[in-house]
Amino acid sequence: MNDPVRVAITRLDGFPGDWSLPAYATPGAAAVDLRNAGPAVELASLERALVPTRLAIALPPGYEAQVRPRSGLSSKRGIGLVNSPGTIDSDYRGELLLPVVNLDREPQLIEHGERVAQLVVAPVAHVQWDEVDRLDETQRGAGGFGSTGT
């Protein structure tokens, strides 16, 4: 296993005093869970809302945090994230807000304390563009959107 990346985190006003910071559920987990730190939110079908975590982080340069839906919420209740995966840049210092959407036909209630999303911290490579007149040829070429599965 790699050495952990040190990330500064702060509990904002309203973060429940008896809650621990986000943690990995198992030794092999790639993400930590983020919970609804605000009041319960009821979402009608196709309704969106920003769910507060009452947390803010400071990632080191060269890293991003990716916010992803939890598979159980999406598969069992149709709750996803509007911007998925969402990217948190290393220079962002605001609250981590979760842009949830109810894709189910029935209203869904997201309870206070419910695990809503996952957070993955990953390295980022910055690009230096080398503009050329023509790209090299490959067997695949410009085929996309399922072209290799036929």
Hey, where are the domains in the chain? Answer: 8-125
Give the model's pLDDT for residue 139: 87
Give the model's pLDDT for residue 5: 95
Give the model's pLDDT for residue 108: 98
Whether the predicted pLDDT of 39 surpasses 80: yes
Tell me the pLDDT tens digit for each residue of 45-96.
999 999 999 999 999 999 999 999 999 999 999 999 999 899 999 999 999 9
Give the model's pLDDT for residue 144: 82
Give residues with Cβ within 8 angstroms of 26, minimum separation 6.
none
Do 123 and 60 meet the contact criterion of CB atoms below 8 Å apart?
A: no
Q: How far apart are CA 133 and CA 80, in angstroms?
A: 41
Whether the predicted pLDDT of 143 surpasses 90: no
Give the model's pLDDT for residue 150: 59
pTM above 0.85, yes or no: yes
Do 17 and 103 meet the contact criterion of CB atoms below 8 Å apart?
A: no
Whether the predicted pLDDT of 149 surpasses 80: no
Q: Cα-flanking dihedrals φ and ψ of residue 76, to 5°?
A: -95, -30
Give the model's pLDDT for residue 55: 98
Whether the predicted pLDDT of 1 surpasses 70: no
pLDDT tier at 147, thresholds 50, 70, 90: confident
Burial of 56 (0-12, 13-18, 19+ CB in 10 A): middle
CA neighbor of 79 nearest in space, from 63, 65, 68: 68
8-125 is classed in which CATH architecture?
Answer: Distorted Sandwich (2.70)
Instruction: Please name the residue that has the structure tokens 């969106």.
Output: 48
Burial 91-129 (b: 16+ CB within 10 A, else e): eeeebbbbbbbbebeeebebeeebbbbbbebeeeeeeee
Tell me the pLDDT tens digit for each residue of 92-132.
999 999 999 999 999 999 999 999 999 999 999 999 999 99
